A and B are shown apart, each in its own frame.
Chain A
Amino acid sequence: MLACHMKEIGSWVLDICSARGAEYAEARVVDERHRALATKNGKIASASDSESLGLGIRVLADGAWGFAATEDLTRAGVETAAAQALEIARASAQVKKDGVRLAPEKAYQDDWSSPCQIDPFSISIEQNLDLLMKIDAELRSVQGVTLAETNLNFRRYEQWFYNSDGSDIHQLKYTTGAGYAAYSFEGTEIQKRSYPNSFGGQWQDKGYELVEQLKLLENARRIGEEAVALHKADQCPEGRFDIILDSSQLGLQIHESVGHPIELDRVLGMEANFAGTSFLTLDKLHSLKYGSDIVNVVADATESHGPGLGTFKYDDEGVPAQCTPIISNGLFTGYLSSRDTAHMIGLKRSGGTMRAESWNRVPMIRMTNISILPGEKPLTLDELIASTDHGIFFKTNRSWSIDDKRYNFQFGTEIGWEIKGGKLTRMLKNPSYSGITTDFWNSMEAICSRDQWTLWGTPNCGKGQPQQVMGTGHGAAPARFRNVKVGTAYKGAE
């Protein structure tokens, strides 16, 4: 019944746009539902459900784009929005140069659902709150923990896509996120530890089975103890060191210093006013030594790559998910592209990376799963540490910043340890490291193997005007980098 109505809405949009002379049109109807539960110091901090249903219409007319979105799914509402999208496109044509050129794409009729073993909305709220309260109690059982925060987030995202090329695609995705943090305030310091990652924990396109796999409760006491222990830890030294990044921090390093610079809209200047541009100008494709020979990065939206937040079957232009080599044995080999940018780098087809936050936002080039491939020879984190004479191990991101061309970065982590003689020794607080993107990736000289590799979810990537928040995936295993600048964040601090 519902799907039938969506098809009707799609046909209204395409008929109106065709009748009024659009060169291309697409309709996306999105029905989404969220549940967010959070606790703080033994009490419920928030409990909310939300749902949203609406239609986004993108049209190409007179060689320019127009987009209008509406929550009114009556025939009159749809017709008004379609007419508005066309009017906007024609207004856009007032200030244009060559006009938009779309890469060809086949028409698809398909129906896809992300793998989900347990519908997270089928789990009772009591069961969810019980888990969060147990974690909270475990965190606060550690003397010195002054604040404990936990959260669970579930999302069901259903989309019907129709375009004037003849595509009719239905996709349904479930996303689950879970995590917690312990804070400790003492003297003049606020220290924090998070699990399994900072800023909301781990997120994947999975059902409730993710919560069961994360071993949340089992790790809570250790996390609380580490937050308190940081007060007595030594300040991270300043200087040049060999460093090892845990896989979650390496995931964010990829996001910032590989994922964003390879977005072709940035490279072409389309994000110059807000998100910035990129040091990866077009002349660098197939010529820049981005990293050392063991650096292999892919943009992989296919299901076989894993349940990342950048996994789908079709992007929001109706282009099938693909795996694009980005860095191959250290050489820069590919950008993230769309139907209207593909021709600018000589591609005959879009790389399939266009996504919109929801029905009311226009699709734009977004990271899919930008992942570094693991090492081929077996190597565990313990073995990586054992083969490090003197260095620092960085774990769990605390701050991240990179310039608007994605070249100079600085990261801080929640915790670190000094490595001496192949062993973790003293705990270090306030660790930070910094560098220049290509120098850093060229200094990578070891990465752990597949059994140490995790596909991390970043649920809060912001880009575009009006800003859109998007989930991205980043697979990574712990890796070692030589001679990196450490401790810069505190240089000269008073």
Chain B
Amino acid sequence: MLSRDKASDIFDKVQKHSSADEVELIVNGGKSSLTRFANNEITQNVSEENYVLSVRVNLDGRTARATTNKFDEDSIRRVVESATALARVQDKDPDLLPMPAPSEFAAPISPVGRAFFETSSIGPRERAEAVGKMVGVAKQHDLNSAGIFATSESVEALFNSRGVSAYHTQTQADASITMIGTDSSGWQKATYPDARDLDPRRLAETAAKKAKESAHPKELPPGKYTVILEPAAVLDLVGFMFWDWGGQAILDERSFLNNRIGKRIFGENITIIDDVYHPLQTGAPFDGEGVPRKRVPLVENGTVERLVFSRGTAAKLKDSEFRDKVGPVEATGHGFPLPNEIGEMPTNIVITGPAGQSKTVDQMIASTERGILVTRLWYIREVEPYEKLLTGMTRDGTFLIENGQVRQGLLNFRFNESMIHMLNNVEAMSESVRSSGEESFDMVVPAMKVRDFNFTEVTKF
């Protein structure tokens, strides 16, 4: 693992070669390994180690970035020269801020401990053993399986010539599995910083149960149904909203929150915060300029309360027509590395319902006269940006619920559903859990029971 001292040494070399007004170094990368299986055997098994060195210069009101994965003295000199050359030919940007200094931060960066030796020390044989356990469950149930077991250790370091020095390292273990029957399938996935929290066999058992119980699926006509979305389905849907949750999206007038800040647009039972310090969250406690991340309440009781801001966006918004419409305007530590088109976004989402009112998925099922249980969604895309109308398909475990019980598997549906509509129709939520999907980043979210969810078509399997 690339240490803080080693990263700092690289920054010294960067500074030596730079004649710009200000210079910033970001180093990220690490080791990652992934064992993939299908048809109950390992089909792909990979490992890599790579670090990327990325230099930004500020030069008389201009900025640019250059990146390399080569760390020799010549390459460091060239990457600095490349960033400088890109900056030099631009027009001056009056909105470009000096790089931040630590004295601007209300509080220093609080480290978060997310690196575990037990995860980083896992080798190919241990990964194969974990896969063997999952495949064993498949064989026991006479099913076919496909999936992954992966581990990684990563580092993110940021230094600038005004004294910011930030370093974060973390580990991660991932397992996901699809169990396949003759005419049905089931899926589960989990991701944790500490591999000891991951139980591949239990994931495999749950996926197998779904594959067995969804066998001989029946076709149900499209229409509006009460659905129970498991946490992975919830996060893959709501993830599409958060690209719009930064100040730059408001300035660009490309956000579904345009003219909606301070208004109740979701049900009163919906609360969303961005909190990198939450015990179930991962990620670095600083942003792409080294600004400490703040805990930001985004939605309280259905009302959009706050946005996230990079330093530059906050400064621009303070001088814009939007300044009185978006709540407190200040850098929140959510900016992407500069320069970029997007600005910022929240990536440590925690969604909760009213305290003391959570229901388990089993309780939600028991309270449903007729509805549909959804394990996972797939190929979600935005159809219309202002109502946040999304389309996509159900996959790997879609079930009919009747009279409080899961009755049988269903052919997969296409949905076309507005996130505003959906989050106004949430009837019940489970406790929030750390969850992983495939269409969005990991979040801490509950399962949701939603009425009038709009299925528009049925597929043929």
Residues of chain A whose beta carbon lies under 8 Å from any beta carbon of chain B: 38, 40-41, 43-54, 64-72, 84-85, 87-89, 91-97, 124-126, 129, 146-147, 149, 183, 185, 188-190, 192, 268-274, 276, 279, 360-362, 364, 398-405, 407-408, 410, 412, 430, 432, 434, 436, 465-466, 488-494
> Is A273 a contact partner of B69 (Cβ separation < 8 A)?
no
Tell me whether B363 is interfacial, beta carbon within 8 Å. no
Alpha-carbon gap, A272 to B82, bound state (A): 43
Residue among B147, B223, B384 having the largest count of chain A Cβ atoms under 10 Å: B384
Alpha-carbon gap, A129 to B66, bound state (A): 17
Query: How far, in Å, is A422 (CB) from chain B's closest CB?
Result: 30
Query: How far, in Å, is A236 (CB) from chain B's closest CB?
Result: 11
Q: Which residues of A contact B60 (CB under 8 A)?
A: none
Q: List 21 A-B contacts (CB under 8 A).
A: A48-B66, A48-B86, A49-B82, A50-B66, A51-B69, A54-B50, A67-B44, A70-B49, A95-B40, A149-B341, A188-B387, A272-B144, A273-B38, A273-B176, A279-B461, A362-B46, A399-B382, A401-B393, A466-B32, A492-B456, A493-B454
Known contacts A125-B86, A404-B379, A493-B389; A65 and B45 CB within 8 A of each other: yes
Alpha-carbon gap, A91 to B43, bound state (A): 11
Q: Which residues of B contact A46 (CB under 8 A)?
A: 65, 339-341
Of B272-280, B324-332, B367-375, B412-420, the one contacting chain A is B412-420
Q: Which residues of B contact A71 (CB under 8 A)?
A: 49-51, 69-70
Interface size on B, residues (CB 8 A): 100
> Is A403 a contact partner of B378 (Cβ separation < 8 A)?
yes
Tell me whether B308 is interfacial, beta carbon within 8 Å. no
> Is B44 a contact partner of A91 (Cβ separation < 8 A)?
no
Alpha-carbon gap, A273 to B90, bound state (A): 46
Query: How far, in Å, is A476 (CB) from chain B's closest CB?
Result: 20
Alpha-carbon gap, A412 to B457, bound state (A): 15
> Is B50 a contact partner of A64 (Cβ separation < 8 A)?
no
Interface of chain B, main secondary structure: strand
Alpha-carbon gap, A84 to B46, bound state (A): 9
Residue ID in chain B nearest A270 by CB atoms: B38
Query: How far, in Å, is A129 (CB) from chain B's closest CB?
Result: 7
Q: Which residues of A contact B48 (CB under 8 A)?
A: 68-70, 360
> Is B393 a contact partner of A52 (Cβ separation < 8 A)?
no
Q: Which residues of B contact A192 (CB under 8 A)?
A: 385
Tell me whether B395 is interfacial, beta carbon within 8 Å. yes
Q: Which residues of A contact B389 (CB under 8 A)?
A: 489-490, 493
Known: A276-B378, A466-B46, A491-B416. 15 other contacts (CB 8 A): A50-B66, A52-B68, A69-B47, A71-B49, A88-B47, A92-B42, A94-B128, A94-B129, A94-B132, A403-B412, A403-B459, A405-B461, A408-B460, A466-B150, A493-B389
Alpha-carbon gap, A199 to B430, bound state (A): 37
Alpha-carbon gap, A231 to B144, bound state (A): 50
Q: Which residues of B contact A50 (CB under 8 A)?
A: 54, 66-68
Alpha-carbon gap, A408 to B392, bound state (A): 10
Q: Which residues of B contact A398 (CB under 8 A)?
A: 383
Tell me whether B148 is interfacial, beta carbon within 8 Å. yes
Residue ID in chain B nearest A48 by CB atoms: B65
> Is A45 a contact partner of B45 (Cβ separation < 8 A)?
no
> Is B379 a contact partner of A401 (Cβ separation < 8 A)?
yes
> Is B67 a contact partner of A97 (Cβ separation < 8 A)?
no
Alpha-carbon gap, A436 to B457, bound state (A): 10
Tell me whether B265 is interfacial, beta carbon within 8 Å. no
Query: How far, in Å, is A12 (CB) from chain B's closest CB?
Result: 18
> Is A404 a contact partner of B457 (Cβ separation < 8 A)?
no
Tell me whether B380 is interfacial, beta carbon within 8 Å. yes
Known contacts A48-B65, A91-B45; A269 and B381 CB within 8 A of each other: no
Of B190-198, B251-259, B401-409, the one contacting chain A is B251-259
Known contacts A46-B339, A399-B381; A493 and B147 CB within 8 A of each other: no
Alpha-carbon gap, A131 to B257, bound state (A): 32
Alpha-carbon gap, A66 to B135, bound state (A): 19
> Is B132 a contact partner of A492 (Cβ separation < 8 A)?
no
Q: Which residues of B contact A492 (CB under 8 A)?
A: 223-224, 416, 454, 456
> Is B457 a contact partner of A434 (Cβ separation < 8 A)?
yes
Residue ID in chain B nearest A85 by CB atoms: B47
Q: Which residues of B contact A125 (CB under 8 A)?
A: 85-86, 89
- The 3 tightest CB contacts between A and B, nearest first, are A91-B124, A50-B67, A408-B459
Q: Which residues of A contact B391 (CB under 8 A)?
A: 399, 401, 410, 412, 489
Tell me whether B429 is interfacial, beta carbon within 8 Å. no
Q: Which residues of B contact A274 (CB under 8 A)?
A: 176, 438
Q: Which residues of A contact B147 (CB under 8 A)?
A: 273
Interface bits B318-345 vs A (CB < 8 Å: 1, else 0): 0000000000000000000001110000
